[in-house]
Amino acid sequence: MFAVTATQFDPDDPIKCLTFGDHPEPVVPEGWTTVTVRAAALNHHDLWTLKGVGISQERLPIVLGCDAAGVDEDGNEVIVHSVIGTPVDGDETLDPARSLLSEKYDGTFAEKVAVPRRNLVPKPAAISFEEAACLPTAWLTAYRMIFDKAGLEPGSTILVQGAGGGVATALIALGRAGGFRVWATSRSQDKRERALALGADRVFETGARLPERVDAVMETVGEATWKHSLSSLRPGGRIVTCGATSGMVAATQLAQVYFLQKSIIGSTMGTREQLARLAVFLEQTGVRPMIDRVLPLAEAEEGFAAMHRGEVFGKVVFTL
Ligand SMILES: NC(=O)c1ccc[n+]([C@@H]2O[C@H](COP(=O)([O-])OP(=O)(O)OC[C@H]3O[C@@H](n4cnc5c(N)ncnc54)[C@H](OP(=O)(O)O)[C@@H]3O)[C@@H](O)[C@H]2O)c1
């Protein structure tokens, strides 16, 4: 079958590590099934893989892609939950042996993907395959950050750092629909304007002083915005962090944490049930993922390169 695989790693030139072509059909273990992929979305995770972050050489070649929407063996339209693991207290992300598709098992940038049967979530008819493909990683992560980990009531103010990312655009749209006051930062004026159109109430240049401190900060940028995130947060507020695109190591003024009783909360992906509720949330509110571009899977390199250059606003989706 046709697939997009990682065949080597290069931290500086990850795009050259992409391989397009024939790959063996998935092996289907007991309790697993296959999904015929109709659409799959790109995540920064795929670039990390090509850079060799979070994966070892022995796994190569591996099919890239965490996210998919498609049709199961019985002809049902489904969304694929990407977290492969055994729930601990009802949460697969707490399983220390968990993995995401494309880490241990082949991912979704292929004609077919094998997944445990329990990882299939019904796709609401009102949501297209392209939109549904955006949900399993970026949108699920944003949903958990804002509605679960932030611990806020509607009407609170949240700051979303790095407005253009897949998670960030989801945070803006979900936050707005959930009744939060959403402020966002971006280095680019164009992205700030697009964030306003998407539902942000106010936008600021990256690092700019805010008119008042916010109730929670949603962090995906990491090192470049960390200091600003901590100082923009009100006493007792929470930074919810799920990623660190600009760098994993950031200095923290500990006095700001303990003296002002601020919390730093880690968040990763979400449960199968949260993915199902997210799909219903979209169905009920009419909110839809911001899609930067849709490309045939065979032309995926263009999407990878745009993300690598930081030129996307929202999700890049590949179709088959
Ligand atoms: N833990 C999880 O479950 C999980 C799930 C999904 C994603 N993630 C992680 O979350 C991060 C975000 O991923 P994504 O795919 O949504 O988006 P992304 O393509 O990684 O970009 C996020 C945003 O970061 C900002 N940015 C990047 N470099 C920057 C710099 N040097 N200074 C200031 N801002 C910078 C950019 O904002 P502007 O251009 O607007 O300034 C960009 O739009 C990634 O690191 C990803 O691995 C984690």
Q: Copy the structure tokens of residue 100.
A: 């995401």
**Do 203 and 234 belong to one domain?**
yes
**Do 117 and 166 belong to one domain?**
no
- Best residue among 53, 205, 245 to mutate for probing ligand 1's pocket (most ligand atoms within 8 Å of CB) is 245
Burial of 284 (0-12, 13-18, 19+ CB in 10 A): exposed
Cβ of 245 below 6 Å from ligand 1: yes
Per-residue pLDDT of the chain in tens (320 residues, 90 and over written 9)? 999 999 999 999 999 999 999 999 998 999 999 999 999 999 999 999 999 999 999 999 999 999 999 999 999 999 999 999 999 999 999 999 999 999 999 999 999 999 999 999 999 999 999 999 999 999 999 999 999 999 999 999 999 999 999 999 999 999 999 999 999 999 999 999 999 999 999 999 999 999 999 999 999 999 999 999 999 999 999 999 999 999 999 999 999 999 999 999 999 999 999 999 999 999 999 999 999 999 999 999 999 999 999 999 999 999 99
Residue 58 domain flag: yes
Residue 295 domain flag: yes
**Do 93 and 150 belong to one domain?**
no
**Do 125 and 211 belong to one domain?**
no
The pLDDT value recorded for residue 317 is 98
**Do 218 and 310 belong to one domain?**
no
Residue 282 domain flag: no
The model's pTM is: 0.98
Residue 275 domain flag: no
**Do 42 and 165 belong to one domain?**
no
**CA pair distance 291, 303, nearest whole angstrom:** 12
Cβ of 188 below 6 Å from ligand 1: yes
Q: Whose CA is nearest to atom 8 of ligand 1?
A: 243
**Do 125 and 164 belong to one domain?**
no
Q: Whose CA is nearest to atom 28 of ligand 1?
A: 246
Residue 191 domain flag: yes
**Do 57 and 173 belong to one domain?**
no
Domain that holds residue 101: 2-134+289-319
**Do 100 and 9 belong to one domain?**
yes
**Do 179 and 124 belong to one domain?**
no
Number of structural domains, the chain? Answer: 2
Burial of 55 (0-12, 13-18, 19+ CB in 10 A): buried
Rounded to whole angstroms, what are the CA distances from 138 to 12, 155, 220, 235, 249? 24, 23, 11, 28, 22
How many H-runs (helices) and E-runs (strands) does the chain carry? 9, 18
Residue 278 domain flag: no
Residue 223 domain flag: yes
Q: List the CATH number of the domain containing 123.
A: 3.90.180.10
Residue 66 domain flag: yes
Cα 244 to averaged position of ligand 1 atoms, centre (Å): 6
**Do 158 and 123 belong to one domain?**
no
Q: List the CATH number of the domain containing 234.
A: 3.40.50.720
**Do 97 and 183 belong to one domain?**
no
